[in-house]
Amino acid sequence: MSLRRDVRIAVLLVTGLILAAGFIVDGRSTASAYLVAWLTWVSIPIGALALWMTSYLVRRVWTEALYAQFVAATATLPVIALASVPILLFMKQIYPAMADPSALPSFKAYYLAPWFFVMRGAIYFGLWIGFALWLRRAWRNDAVMVRAASAGLVVHALTVSLACIDWMESLEPDFHSSVYGLLFLSFTLLSGCAFVVGISLFSGRRIGRSAGYSGLLLSLTLLWAYLHAMQYIVIWSGNIPDEVSWYQARSEQGWQYLLAAVALGQFVLPFFALLSARVRSGPRALMMLCGLTLLMRWCEAAVLILPAIHNITLLTTALMLLASVLFLGALLWLAFDSALANDGRVFNLAWARYPAGSKAPRAR
């Protein structure tokens, strides 16, 4: 066992003990922090799955160059799904609809019932894992690759939007936004792209010219910025109190500074940096932008989630957020490394293998 693996296991054990103590002492604050970290990390395999499907439809160098990384990233889905157990155990403390369903209309109360909430989550992960298996079986078979990716992207967009409503928007059951699901979709795409490309560059893998991946990152950044701007403009023009209050809660008590940091770090800085041909073609610069993008995902998740949860202790939440990020990050990295080294198998979870000796997909 390598030293790096030993360090990650040590981090996993230490932070796991810290989180266990946090759940005992202040379950609400710890569960809130854990939800932020979990949503940040779970967005990586979800986003990687969508990009993997896209690579099957748009055959270029990245279809072959990033295949192993896509397989390994999506192979972590069962592990990160199991990591949601603490959230499910404490969901009545952070989701108001589950703590007091009588205050909601009958449909919302039924839809957000704990048993239905858990069942939908299991369906989402089951579908994502199933499509990941299908994509692996389809590898190097042009017709099946197109079918799997086409069907998968449709189902992926719908399930990610619904998962966003369950996991994030239901924290404020009185808030409504038709763009919220798309916001989380862009969130996952940025996470998946930054992780897969960044880890490939960090490990020294040959994945082709950096300029193409820089263009992909820039496109996803513009999509993310456009969707946020669209939601803001629609809510501002409508001037509906229940919707305006969502922004008001994130414009006071210090959240406005973190929101400004997200706008600067996720849009302004990457946008102007990627306008430079030198930055776009530089692997090191691209790797740094990928790291910044992942950092901004943690900040954005905190802005979206924590202002919606009341009666949490700031200091405890901050400490447990750091512990949760390290715990889930070490878990995800261990699972990713294991899958990368064992043809998509994580802790003896056997994934389907593509047929040996079959032809590589043709670039178009």
Asked if residue 19 lies in contact with residue 327, where contact means CB atoms within 8 angstroms, the answer is yes
Burial class (CB in 10 A: 0-12, 13-18, 19+), 295: middle
Looking at residue 356, its pLDDT comes to 36
- CB count in 10 Å sphere of residue 362: 8
Q: How far from 239 is each of 85, 98, 179, 184, 245, CA to CA, in Å?
A: 38, 28, 16, 23, 10
For residue 189, the SS3 value is helix
Q: Which of 94, 95, 86, 89 minimizes the C-alpha distance to 113?
A: 95
- Nearest-angstrom CA–CA distance, 102 and 155: 32
Q: How far from 200 is each of 93, 191, 208, 284, CA to CA, in Å?
A: 39, 14, 11, 11
Residues 6+ apart with CB under 8 A from 44: 73, 76, 188, 191, 192, 195, 332
Looking at residue 112, its pLDDT comes to 86
Looking at residue 248, its pLDDT comes to 85
Looking at residue 352, its pLDDT comes to 41
User: 309-312: long-range contacts (C-beta < 8 A, 24 or more apart)?
Assistant: 309/28, 309/32, 309/94, 309/171, 311/28, 312/28, 312/29, 312/32
- Nearest-angstrom CA–CA distance, 144 and 83: 32
Please name the amino acid found at residue 174. Answer: D
- Nearest-angstrom CA–CA distance, 284 and 210: 9
Looking at residue 100, its pLDDT comes to 77
Buried/exposed 223-248: b ≥16 CB within 10 Å, e otherwise = ebbebbeebeeebeeeeeeebeebee
Express each pLDDT in 3-47 by its tens digit. 577 888 899 999 999 999 999 999 999 999 999 999 999 999 999
Q: Which of 119, 122, 97 minimizes the C-alpha distance to 110?
A: 97
CA 323 to chain centre: 18
Asked if residue 44 lies in contact with residue 192, where contact means CB atoms within 8 angstroms, the answer is yes
Query: Could you tell me the pTM of the whole model?
Result: 0.90
Burial class (CB in 10 A: 0-12, 13-18, 19+), 59: middle
User: 257-262: long-range contacts (C-beta < 8 A, 24 or more apart)?
Assistant: 258/299, 258/302, 258/303, 259/303, 261/299, 262/296, 262/299, 262/300, 262/303
Residues 6+ apart with CB under 8 A from 237: none
**DSSP category for residue 266:** I
Looking at residue 346, its pLDDT comes to 59
For residue 239, the SS3 value is coil
Looking at residue 1, its pLDDT comes to 44
Would you list the domain boundaries of the chain?
Answer: 3-341
Q: Which residues of the chain fall below pLDDT 70?
A: 1-3, 343-364
Extract the tokens encoding 268: 């302004």
